[in-house]
């Protein structure tokens, strides 16, 4: 078991600093010190929240060199002056007990020793060079959760090494959606919630899978009378703002959409001019939809046929100011086997409504463009020629997946097959967030070299040969990003808390230098940042003072679709060419097998937690424990049949795992579904908070890859639930 071993030198240095501070100025007693500390001014420093992908703009209020509190930036379009509970709690990561304070080397199971940066860089570089020599760059991969700084630095290092396998977290998030839109409309449009008259949310939960602006937007639309339909097997908190909750059998939204298209066509409610001008394959599509009557869909979805008709007519009669919201993870981003075709249908139904580019319909973003480093002055490494080790873009493997996303959860399996030999993880905890943790841990440990760069201990970090500790967001300045019609940037609010942690640009440059690749990093982070904001007429000093700076929105672009045909592909040629149905057809979810006594195990976000990160936060964990929020939801009638009462301890079982948890017995869930909130069930032994509390749906799900978009099918699992002995 690892215990921090501080070299004597560090201890002496720290003692000397404290002594100097105490002896300074007019402080003679503890009372003096307290009065002075209390009277110290508070300064506000602009930063960005790192606790979820909304990356809200925040002000960090600093007193005596420590974080005092945070508030939301008004000019930032995600926060609009507010932060959620996770944002308020998340900034305290700087002082968290689970911080990794030194570079670490694993010397056994759950056994690490702190090492110097120089030793870490030298040993990683030597092992990587051996892998490159023996196996080539095609067996090296990098997985991350893309944010502005890491999206620049790590892919550049990987390219310098020759590896093309750069992966984001999307195969366990939204990749079915993203791949479906890529091939259908050429990219994702978003619902114009402020102006729509009739909108259907398929699971997507703005109130719990939230950013302050999306939750506020939904509340405002509801207040002014917009018809909001929420389709979800569970009465989620989004139903607070719903005109109607439509419970659905898990994994069957595709059937609902096929029937909606059928009705729009047979009842002549679709936009013929739009379809003629902007769509290809309508005749095949129309033929394909003919069999999907509302009665057929009702039997599949458990939604009354008249409700399906009412939804289709509500959409058709209000077009073009009506839409199916674009979705995210729920219900099909990476959850069900039919997810990619389901999102193709979301795009196709919106096309039938002719709502693209229309007020109240689906609009494509038009963000200001950031600049980049002068390539003549700072030559970039050549684009890698090596094949990817996740099969993405390769005929016969995963030809239609997004190269920018890859298949992150597959790498441990590839390692066990000898198809991957060295891996780097940044800001992602795949071992807890993807299905089948036992396999993930075994696979990562089978690599010749596995390096994790994180701020805190995690299940994935526990598998690493080397851990590179980054300083936390409050302690660093990062590269700028565009948000709405503005530029924003995180600046360093406090000094580095643990002297042996570093910001990412230094870490990557250090590694590059030990690999002999320093020529690709002969610039400072400021050089990159300044080049990014220059074309928008913004300076780094502006950003350091204001955090978020409005810029001129680019002129509106005429409607266009970046597909192969330059039209919306109701019939998708690329799907046909690769052996997938070119017009969506009904495919039952694997979990359709859920029967009278079993459940499809579904999951989703809670407003106060973010993935695995937040349950180890002491304040947020205390909220969860105080209100018993880790519970498994099951339907009241079914619970009665199974002899289970609210608050009982139950055993949840799939062929993969058995776990115990308390139940919430409720009318708010379809009888075929059992719901477990996301982010619980942490098992990394070094964590001091939240470990072992609650359970994770991922334990029950086998490791699989959906063939079209490469996602993890994270709700394709049937479980039994029975009362457990105390
Ligand atoms: N059961 C279940 N599983 C799910 C989901 C679910 O709803 N239910 N949701 C899925 C979804 S939508 C997603 S997007 C994924 C998310 O999966 P991940 O991207 O893995 O998300 P996190 O759990 O937040 O883990 C992020 C890691 O980054 C680290 N980190 C945080 N800030 C920093 C930083 O500034 N620098 C560095 N270097 N590291 C940092 C954290 O300590 C943590 O270890 O999970 C998926 N998995
Ligand atoms: N508080 C909080 N907010 C977050 C995050 C977070 O971790 N915490 N993470 C961010 C990220 S990375 C993402 S991807 C988004 C995700 O945002 P959403 O896509 O809104 O995410 P989830 O909560 O994963 O959605 C799960 C919902 O889908 C429902 N569902 C399950 N099966 C089905 C089905 O078959 N049909 C239908 N119609 N619904 C179904 C569940 O009951 C649940 O309400 O949230 C973002 N915002
Ligand atoms: S929504 Fe909450 S957690 Fe996400 S970035 Fe904003 S404040 Fe942070
Ligand atoms: Mo996500």
> What digits encode the pLDDT tens for the residues 132-174?
999 999 999 999 999 999 999 999 999 999 999 999 999 999 9
pTM of the model: 0.95
SS (H, E, C) 19-67: HHHHHCCCCCCHHHHHHHHHHCCEEEEEEECCCCCCCCEEEEEEECCEE
| Model pLDDT, residue 24 | 52
Q: Is the CB of 615 under 6 A from ligand 1?
A: no
Encoded tokens for 676: 């477990």
- How many Å lie between the centroid of ligand 3 and the Cα of residue 72? 10
Mutate to test the pocket of ligand 3, among 47, 53, 54 (most ligand atoms within 8 A of CB): 54
Query: Considering the domain 598-723 in this protein, what is its CATH number?
Result: 2.40.40.20
- How many Å lie between the centroid of ligand 2 and the Cα of residue 125? 39
pLDDT over 80 (residue 486)? yes
Q: What is the DSSP string of 628-695?
A: TTTPEEEEHHHHHHHT--TT-EEEEE-SS-EEEEEEEEESSB-TTEEEEETT--B--TT--SSBT-S-
| Calpha distance 191→357 (Å, rounded) | 10
The contacts of residue 11 (CB under 8 Å, 6+ apart) are none
Encoded tokens for 518: 């320093």
Any alpha helices (H) in 54-163, and if so which ranges?
Answer: 85-90, 117-135, 148-161
Helix (H, G, I), strand (E, B) or coil at 295: helix
Q: List residues bridging with 652 in a β-sheet.
A: 659, 721
Chain segment 214-263, per-residue pLDDT in tens: 999 999 999 999 999 999 999 999 999 999 999 999 999 999 999 999 99
Is the torsion defined by CA of 336, 339, 341, 342 positive or negative? Answer: positive
| Model pLDDT, residue 211 | 84
Atom of ligand 3 nearest to the CA of 82: 7
| Model pLDDT, residue 2 | 39
User: Once rounded to an integer, what is the mean pLDDT over residues 73-87?
Assistant: 92
Nearest ligand to residue 609 Cα = 2
| Calpha distance 701→713 (Å, rounded) | 8
- How many Å lie between the centroid of ligand 3 and the Cα of residue 606? 13
- How many Å lie between the centroid of ligand 3 and the Cα of residue 100? 23
Atom of ligand 1 nearest to the CA of 504: 38
- How many Å lie between the centroid of ligand 4 and the Cα of residue 313? 32
Chain segment 533-548, per-residue pLDDT in tens: 999 999 999 999 999 9
Q: Is the CB of 236 under 6 A from ligand 2?
A: yes
Encoded tokens for 110: 């759950």
| Model pLDDT, residue 20 | 43
| Calpha distance 588→583 (Å, rounded) | 16
Q: List residues bridging with 456 in a β-sheet.
A: 99
DSSP code, position 503:
-
- Tracing tokens 């300044």 back to the chain, one arrives at 530
Of 25 and 480, which is predicted with more confidence? 480
**Domain extents for the chain?**
104-171+369-485+492-550, 185-364+559-577, 598-723
Chain segment 4-60, per-residue pLDDT in tens: 443 444 434 444 444 444 445 567 788 888 888 889 999 999 999 999 999 999 999
| Calpha distance 139→118 (Å, rounded) | 25
Q: Is the CB of 711 under 6 A from ligand 1?
A: no
| Calpha distance 469→96 (Å, rounded) | 13
Q: Give residue 369's pLDDT band: very low, low, confident or very high (50, 70, 90).
A: very high
Q: List residues bridging with 635 in a β-sheet.
A: 666
Pairing of strands 649-653, 718-723: antiparallel
| Calpha distance 523→82 (Å, rounded) | 36
Of 74-83, 271-280, 469-478, the poorest mean pLDDT is in 74-83
Encoded tokens for 541: 């000093």
Which residue's CA is the nearest one to ligand 1's atom 38? 454
- How many Å lie between the centroid of ligand 1 and the Cα of residue 169? 8
pLDDT over 70 (residue 640)? yes
Chain segment 278-335, per-residue pLDDT in tens: 999 999 999 999 999 999 999 999 999 999 999 999 999 999 999 999 999 988 899 9
Atom of ligand 1 nearest to the CA of 470: 38
Helix (H, G, I), strand (E, B) or coil at 708: coil
| Model pLDDT, residue 532 | 98
Which residue's CA is the nearest one to ligand 3's atom 1? 211
Q: Is the CB of 458 under 6 A from ligand 1?
A: yes
CA dihedral 416, 429, 686, 689 (to 10 degrees): -150
Is the torsion defined by CA of 299, 176, 706, 168 positive or negative? Answer: negative
Among 250, 435, 251, which Cα is nearest to 338's?
251
Pairing of strands 548-550, 486-488: antiparallel
Among 386, 395, 433, 431, which Cα is nearest to 413's?
431
Encoded tokens for 43: 């300064």
pLDDT over 90 (residue 595)? no
CA angle 416, 417, 418 (to 5 degrees): 90
Q: Is the CB of 302 under 6 A from ligand 2?
A: no
Q: Is the CB of 52 under 6 A from ligand 2?
A: yes
The contacts of residue 417 (CB under 8 Å, 6+ apart) are none
Nearest ligand to residue 52 Cα = 3
CB 563 within 8 Å of CB 569: yes
Residues lining ligand 3, Cβ inside 6 A = 49, 51-52, 54-56, 78-79, 83-84, 86-87, 210-212, 610
Q: Is the CB of 502 under 6 A from ligand 1?
A: no
Helix (H, G, I), strand (E, B) or coil at 229: strand
| Calpha distance 75→78 (Å, rounded) | 9
- Tracing tokens 């078991």 back to the chain, one arrives at 1
Percent of the chain exceeding pLDDT 90 equals 90
User: Once rounded to an integer, what is the mean pLDDT over residues 616-642?
Assistant: 96
Give me the helix-helix angle, 253-266 and 294-301, nearest 10°. 170
Of 665 and 34, which is predicted with more confidence? 665
CB-count exposure of residue 299 (10 Å: 0-12, 13-18, 19+) = middle
Mutate to test the pocket of ligand 1, among 142, 427, 457 (most ligand atoms within 8 A of CB): 427
Give me the helix-helix angle, 253-266 and 305-318, nearest 10°. 60
- Radius of gyration of the CA atoms of the chain, in A: 26
| Calpha distance 563→467 (Å, rounded) | 41
| Model pLDDT, residue 556 | 87
| Calpha distance 369→373 (Å, rounded) | 13
CB 469 within 8 Å of CB 443: no
CA distance to 384, 527, 536, per residue, from 373 (Å): 19, 8, 14
Mutate to test the pocket of ligand 2, among 176, 300, 331, 615 (most ligand atoms within 8 A of CB): 331
Residues near ion ligand 4 (Cβ under 5 Å) = 173
Q: How many residues does the chain have?
A: 726
Among 235, 149, 228, which Cα is nearest to 193's?
228
The contacts of residue 24 (CB under 8 Å, 6+ apart) are none
Q: Which H or E run contains 165?
A: strand 165-167
Nearest ligand to residue 440 Cα = 1
> ω into residue 320 within 30 of 0, thus cis?
yes
CB-count exposure of residue 48 (10 Å: 0-12, 13-18, 19+) = buried
Q: Is the CB of 208 under 6 A from ligand 2?
A: yes
| Model pLDDT, residue 6 | 38
Mutate to test the pocket of ligand 3, among 60, 93, 148, 212 (most ligand atoms within 8 A of CB): 212
Give me the helix-helix angle, 175-184 and 339-352, nearest 10°. 50
Architecture of domain 185-364+559-577: 3-Layer(aba) Sandwich (3.40)
| Calpha distance 302→312 (Å, rounded) | 16
> What value does the mean pLDDT of the chain take?
94
CATH C-level class of 104-171+369-485+492-550: alpha beta
- How many Å lie between the centroid of ligand 3 and the Cα of residue 388? 33
- Tracing tokens 């209000």 back to the chain, one arrives at 318
Which residue's CA is the nearest one to ligand 2's atom 36? 331
The pair phi, psi for residue 218, each rounded to 5°, is -70, -40
Q: Which H or E run contains 451?
A: strand 449-454
pLDDT over 70 (residue 694)? yes
| Model pLDDT, residue 717 | 97
Nearest ligand to residue 469 Cα = 1
Q: Is the CB of 213 under 6 A from ligand 1?
A: no
- How many Å lie between the centroid of ligand 2 and the Cα of residue 53? 13
User: Once rounded to an integer, what is the mean pLDDT over residues 667-684?
Assistant: 97
Nearest ligand to residue 169 Cα = 1
Encoded tokens for 673: 């579904």
- How many Å lie between the centroid of ligand 1 and the Cα of residue 128? 26
CB-count exposure of residue 498 (10 Å: 0-12, 13-18, 19+) = middle
């Amino acid at each position: 078991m690892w215990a921090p071993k501080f070299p004597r030198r560090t201890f002496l240095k720290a003692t000397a600093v404290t002594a100097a501070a105490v002896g300074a100025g007019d402080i003679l007693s503890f009372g003096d010190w307290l009065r002075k500390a209390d009277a110290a001014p508070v300064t506000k420093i602009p930063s960005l929240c790192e606790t979820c992908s909304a990356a809200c703009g925040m002000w960090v209020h600093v007193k005596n060199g420590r974080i005092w509190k945070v508030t939301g930036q008004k000019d930032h379009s995600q926060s609009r002056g507010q932060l959620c509970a996770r944002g308020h709690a998340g900034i305290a990561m700087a002082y968290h007990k689970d911080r990794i304070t030194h570079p670490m080397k694993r010397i056994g199971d759950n056994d690490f020793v702190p090492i110097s940066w120089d030793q870490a860089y030298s040993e990683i570089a030597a092992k990587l060079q051996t892998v490159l020599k023996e196996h080539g760059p095609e067996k090296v991969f990098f997985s991350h959760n893309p944010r502005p700084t890491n999206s620049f630095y790590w892919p550049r290092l990987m390219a310098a090494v020759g590896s093309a396998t750069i992966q984001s977290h999307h195969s366990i998030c939204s990749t079915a959606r993203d791949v479906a839109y890529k091939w259908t409309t050429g990219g994702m449009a978003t619902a114009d919630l402020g102006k729509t008259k009739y909108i259907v949310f398929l699971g997507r939960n703005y109130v719990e899978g939230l950013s302050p602006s999306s939750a506020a937007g939904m509340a405002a639309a509801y207040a002014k009378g917009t018809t909001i339909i929420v389709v979800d097997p569970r009465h989620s908190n989004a139903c607070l703002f719903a005109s109607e909750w439509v419970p659905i059998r898990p994994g069957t939204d595709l059937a609902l959409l096929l029937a909606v298209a059928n009705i729009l066509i047979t009842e002549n409610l679709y936009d013929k001019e739009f379809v003629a001008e902007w769509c290809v394959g309508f005749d095949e599509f129309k033929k394909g939809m003919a069999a999907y009557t509302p009665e057929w869909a009702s039997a599949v979805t458990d939604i009354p046929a008249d409700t399906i008709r009412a939804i289709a007519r509500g959409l058709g009669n209000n077009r073009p100011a009506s839409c199916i919201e674009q979705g995210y993870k729920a219900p099909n981003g990476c959850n069900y086997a039919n997810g990619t075709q389901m999102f193709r249908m979301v795009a196709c139904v919106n096309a039938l409504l002719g709502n693209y580019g229309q007020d109240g319909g689906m609009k494509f973003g038009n963000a200001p463009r950031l600049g980049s480093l002068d390539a003549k002055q700072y030559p970039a490494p050549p684009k890698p020629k090596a094949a990817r080790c996740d099969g993405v873009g390769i005929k016969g493997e995963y030809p239609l997946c997004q190269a920018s996303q890859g298949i992150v959860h597959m790498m441990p399996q590839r390692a066990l097959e000898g198809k991957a030999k060295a891996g780097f993880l940044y800001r992602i905890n795949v071992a807890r967030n993807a299905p089948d943790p036992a396999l993930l841990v075994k696979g990562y440990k089978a690599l010749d070299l596995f390096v994790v760069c994180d701020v805190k201990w995690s299940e994935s970090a526990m598998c690493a040969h080397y851990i590179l500790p980054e300083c936390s967001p409050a302690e660093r300045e990062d590269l700028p990003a565009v948000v709405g019609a503005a530029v924003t940037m995180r600046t360093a609010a406090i000094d580095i808390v643990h002297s042996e942690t570093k910001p990412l640009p230094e870490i990557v440059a250090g590694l590059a230098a030990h690999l002999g690749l320093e020529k690709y990093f002969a610039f400072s982070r400021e050089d990159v940042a300044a080049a990014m904001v220059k074309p928008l007429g913004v300076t780094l000093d502006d950003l350091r003072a204001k955090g978020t700076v409005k810029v001129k929105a680019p002129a509106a672009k005429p409607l266009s679709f970046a597909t192969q045909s330059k039209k919306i592909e109701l019939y998708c040629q690329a799907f046909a060419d690769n052996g997938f149905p070119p017009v969506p057809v009904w495919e039952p979810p694997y979990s359709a097998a859920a029967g009278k006594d079993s459940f499809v195990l579904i999951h989703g976000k809670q407003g106060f937690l973010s993935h695995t990160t937040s349950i180890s936060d002491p304040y947020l964990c205390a909220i969860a424990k105080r209100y018993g929020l880790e519970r498994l939801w099951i339907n009241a009638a079914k619970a009665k049949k199974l002899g289970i009462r609210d608050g009982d301890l139950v055993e949840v079982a799939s062929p993969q795992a058995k776990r115990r948890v308390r139940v919430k017995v409720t009318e708010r869930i379809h009888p075929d579904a059992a719901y477990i909130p996301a982010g619980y069930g942490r098992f990394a032994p070094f964590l001091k908070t939240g470990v072992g509390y609650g359970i994770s749906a991922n334990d029950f799900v086998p490791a699989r890859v959906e063939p079209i978009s490469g996602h993890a099918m994270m709700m394709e699992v049937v479980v039994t639930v029975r009362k457990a002995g105390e």
